[in-house]
Amino acid sequence: MGVHDLTGRNALVTGGAQGLGAQMAAALAQAGAGVVIADIDEEAGRATADAIERSGARAAFVALDVTEDAGWESAVAVTIAELGGFDLLVNNAGVEITELLTDISQDRVRAMLDINLLGPALGIKHAFRAMRPGGPAGTGGTIVNISSVAATIAFPGIAMYSATKSGVDRLTRVAAMESGKLGYGVRVNCVYPGLVGNRMGLALANDVVELGLFPDTDEAVGAVVGQTPLGRLATGEEIAAAVVFLASDAAGFITGAGLPVDGGMGM
């Protein structure tokens, strides 16, 4: 158990099959929460849920495309049935497609808007309905949305990705306000992760080289590190730790906030 105790809490983590979401799910489980992994990647999602279960925590997998309203309804029902409650949603699933504005494609922009912005909005909808008084879970809770440092800087090649993540930022604030005003008992916050050297982070570094913005990936990563006061990339564990903190009672008076975990890059 780390510094934050989530014993008895019941979490759904979207995009939890791999990458940051899997690390968040593992960290939440290590803090005592039961975790449902929700992802379109069934094979990796089941393997991640199994690994968490083998570590002694309560875990399950549910297939979910976050862009599907009806899928959310059953994912929340599965979470309540599997874990016995639902009081923590991590809206983590996201995609990054690197394009210059002169070359954006309608389909790729719509895909990012759907997954990165509509997805979390539908998640908030169904979490509010389930967690608020009288809902099938009914005990309130917390939502953590995964935005990005891209919402707080201007990096070339990621205009539409940055726009979707800026949308997540504002969605978070209004969701927190509606929850408070309407007495749902749900805190809503977001995290702005800095660049992590994982699948998505390295793909971005390669993409900006392919677009001719940097001579090679070392220079692309170096440009990020050079703008980061702490002088390095983020780790998945550091992002997951921030999610655990915001989910915990230590953050009990924090709502409508955005927490940068970016080494100071976004100012």
Enzyme catalytic residues: 161
Write down the least CB distance from residue 18 to ligand NAD, Å. 5
Please identify, among the stretches 39-47, 82-90, 101-109, 221-229, the one whose residues bind ligand NAD according to the rule CB under 6 A.
Answer: 39-47
Cβ-based nearer residue to ligand NAD, 83 or 97: 97
Write down the least CB distance from residue 180 to ligand NAD, Å. 25
Cβ-based nearer residue to ligand NAD, 83 or 191: 191
Q: Restricting to residues 132-151, which ones interact with ligand NAD according to CB under 6 A?
A: 146, 148-149
Among 196, 242, 243, 265, binds ligand NAD (CB under 6 A): 196
Do residues 112 and 164 lie in contact, with contact meaning Cβ atoms separated by under 8 Å? yes
240: nearest Cα among 9, 7, 29: 29
195 binds ligand NAD (CB under 6 A): yes
Cβ-based nearer residue to ligand NAD, 16 or 185: 16
Among 6, 10, 12, 14, binds ligand NAD (CB under 6 A): 14
Among 13, 20, 31, 221, binds ligand NAD (CB under 6 A): 20
Q: Restricting to residues 108-127, which ones interact with ligand NAD according to CB under 6 A?
A: 115
Do residues 143 and 174 lie in contact, with contact meaning Cβ atoms separated by under 8 Å? no
60 binds ligand NAD (CB under 6 A): no
Where along the sequence are the contacts to ligand NAD (CB under 6 A)?
A: 14-15, 17-21, 39-41, 64-67, 92-96, 115, 146, 148-149, 193, 195-196, 198-201
